[in-house]
Structure 1
Amino acid sequence: MSKIGVEQSLTNVQDALRAKGYDIVELKQESDAQNVDCCVVTGLDSNVLGEQTTSIKGSVIEANGLTADEVCQQVEQKLRH
C-alpha cells in the first residue's frame, strides 16, 4: 500500500487514510517527506516542511477547507495517475 505523509495537525485525515489501509508518516521535518508517495498539508503555512528546496516524488494535497473524506478521494485520485 502507498505511503502517505500527513501534517501532524491533521489527525482526522491520518485516521481516515489509515482506515483505508494507507501507511501514514507524520510530517514533522523535511526528511519525513522524502520517501512518501503523496503529502497532505494544511496549506496554512506555505513552508510547512521548513525548507524551500524540499522535493518529493509524489503529489502535495492542500487539505485546507476539505473534509477527511474529500482528502482521501484526492489522495486516491493522485495515486491512480
Structure 2
Amino acid sequence: MEVWIDQDLCTGDGICAQYAPDVFELDIDGLAYVKDADGELRHGPGSTAPVPSVALLDVIDSVKECPGDCIHVKRATDGTEVFGPDAE
C-alpha cells in the first residue's frame, strides 16, 4: 500500500500525525506530508510513501478521522484507491 496527502485540502489539524507518526508529519507550513522509509518528507504534489504493514490500521484510522478528507491510500500494484475520498 501507498499513501499520499492532497495538501490543497489539508486543514493542518495533525490528526494523521497523531495516529501514524511514522507515516505522517506536519511541516513548518502547517500542512501534513507523508514520509518515505528514511523519514524524509515527500513534498511533491501527489508524492506517495509506502505504508508499513504495522502502521496500516493507524493510517486507515487517519483517513477516517481526517477533517480535510485529503488522505489517499492506494494499492501499489495497480494504483486503485482503497481508502480515502476516491475509494471504490
The answer, yes or no, to whether TM exceeds 0.5 is no
Q: Which has the larger share of helix?
A: 1
TM-score by length of structure 1 reads 0.32
- The TM-score, its normalising length taken from structure 2, stands at 0.31
